[in-house]
Amino acid sequence: MTFTEKDRVILDYFANNAGAAIERARLTREIILRMIKMAELRDPEETGRHVNRVGAYAAEIYHSWARHHGLSPEEIKATKDLLHIAAMLHDVGKIAISDLILKKPAGLDPEEFNLMKFHTILGARLFQDSQSELDIMAAEIALNHHERWDGRGYPGKISDIFDPQATIAPGKRGEEIPLPARIVALADVYDALGSMRSYKEPLPEARILELIEEESGKQFDPEVVQAFLEAHDILLALKGKYHGDPTYCLLVSPAKPLSAD
């Protein structure tokens, strides 16, 4: 087949556009990874490990969910890769929360917890004028990963998150919550329950599974819980990898239930 001069011009045009799109995607990815590093500066001992685990867990839960919904391998891979990175930014808004709250070595009182809730709004605001699928997904997750399937989460149905006077509103419910955020909500709690905090010990794995199953249809999307349970062996292997000890989560003692803060 012989290409004409017109064909070459058209090919050059599309090649240049494709190259520019790839470069924009690369730059977006690099900026987001730097944002994650920035968030780690606030809590270098735990934040980095936590976000890496949540990103890995969320990707595998999504993979399990997507197989059941008949998505193509190509779509699964593309979304899984985006979700892995976007999930790592779920708590990026905490960089604007006072250390007196963020690093308090005890549970938060009601006033402190109300201030902590704003990390969802502050995180989503970082992605104003989003220009890529990754930006859009990261914003959805940052804003909605503390919403609950039963509508009792936060920050709720806020008409304009960029309004300086925005306040916590009645929660979103069910599929009003974007799927990536529903997945990260579970991944985040799963990691929090199995991890040491300054104010608590981690839970044994068996107890974590019981609590998550109990919250199916309440805190968590039932389909996401099912995907989580089916991917559990993979998640357990990842947990052992990130904690450096595959028996870590089986040996630890009980703690408070179902909170990611």
Which tens digits make up the pLDDT trace of 29-82?
676 667 667 666 666 556 668 888 999 999 999 999 999 999 999 999 999 999
Residue 90 has pLDDT above 70, yes or no: yes
Query: What are the tokens at 215?
Result: 């919250």
Could you report the per-residue pLDDT of 176-214, keeping only the tens digit for each? Answer: 999 999 999 999 999 999 987 766 788 999 999 999 999
Query: In the chain, where are the structural domains located?
Result: 5-251
Global pTM value: 0.81
Catalytic member of 37, 77, 80, 94: 94
Task: Phi first, then psi: give them for residue 221, nearest 5 degrees.
Answer: -60, 125
5-251: which CATH number, 3.40.50.2020, 1.10.3210.10, 2.30.30.100, 3.40.190.10?
A: 1.10.3210.10
The 10s digit of each residue's pLDDT in 93-119 is: 988 888 888 888 888 899 999 999 999
Tell me how far CA of residue 236 lies from CA of 88, 161, 229, in angstroms.
Answer: 18, 36, 11
| pLDDT single digits (tens) 117-138 | 999 999 999 988 877 888 899 9
Is 37 a catalytic site residue? Answer: no
Tens-place pLDDT, residues 215-247? 999 999 999 999 999 999 999 999 888 765 433
Where b means 16+ CB within 10 Å and e means fewer, 223-240 reads bbbbbbbbbbebbeebbe
CA distances to 17, 194, 199 from 257, in Å:
50, 10, 13
